[in-house]
């Protein structure tokens, strides 16, 4: 019964992973980790899976940064982030600084952190380094755990 679904998911491969990872980091409540685990379990290259997922998720976060950069009107129009989440993210920024961006992969607060970094006009290079590093390390951990389980 699951074989047709597995075939469909496998056929999407890296482009499907990129798309899901991108969307998971923007406006849709998706999780891309399951797709990462699935592809690795089907023999896809572990390094390529981690890199594709990281890049897709990072570029999705860049979209949220841009929306924050454009202002609160864009946030209300394009993102489903509640004002309370934005306020909480602003408090984290004031307490921990840019290092908080290492945790943009966390549910609920992660998207708000990327938006707030845009609102605060954080330098894009700093944003990029912290966000990509955090997302890459998350996917690397998922891939490593998946590989360890499969062995």
Domain count, the chain: 1
Confidence (pTM)? 0.85
Residues in the chain: 151
Tens digit of each residue's pLDDT (9 = 90 or more) over 22-37: 999 886 777 889 999 9
Q: Supply the range of the domain harboring residue 95.
A: 3-150
41 in Cβ contact with 71 (< 8 Å): no
Asked if residue 113 lies in contact with residue 89, where contact means CB atoms within 8 angstroms, the answer is yes
The contacts of residue 126 (CB under 8 Å, 6+ apart) are: 98, 101
Query: What is the spatial distance between Cα 127 and Cα 19, in angstroms, rounded to a whole number?
Result: 21
Query: Quick check: 56 and 32 in contact, CB under 8 A?
Result: yes
Q: What is the pLDDT of residues 109-137, one digit of tens each?
A: 888 899 889 988 999 999 999 999 999 99
Q: What is the per-residue pLDDT across 30-74, written as a single tens digit (0 to 9) for each?
A: 788 999 999 999 899 999 999 999 999 999 999 989 988 987 777
């Amino acid at each position: 019964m699951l074989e047709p679904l597995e075939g469909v998911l496998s056929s999407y491969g890296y482009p499907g992973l990129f798309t899901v990872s991108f969307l998971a980091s923007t406006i849709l409540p998706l999780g891309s980790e399951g797709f990462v685990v699935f592809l690795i379990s089907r023999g896809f290259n572990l390094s390529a899976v981690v890199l594709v997922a990281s890049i897709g998720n990072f570029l999705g976060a860049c979209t949220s940064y841009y929306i924050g950069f454009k202002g609160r009107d864009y946030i209300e129009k394009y993102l489903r982030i509640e004002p309370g989440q934005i306020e909480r993210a602003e408090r984290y920024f004031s307490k921990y600084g840019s290092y908080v961006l290492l945790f943009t992969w966390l549910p609920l607060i992660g998207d708000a952190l990327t938006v707030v970094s845009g609102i605060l006009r954080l330098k894009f290079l700093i944003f990029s380094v912290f966000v990509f590093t955090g997302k890459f390390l998350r996917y690397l951990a998922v891939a490593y755990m998946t590989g360890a389980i499969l062995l």
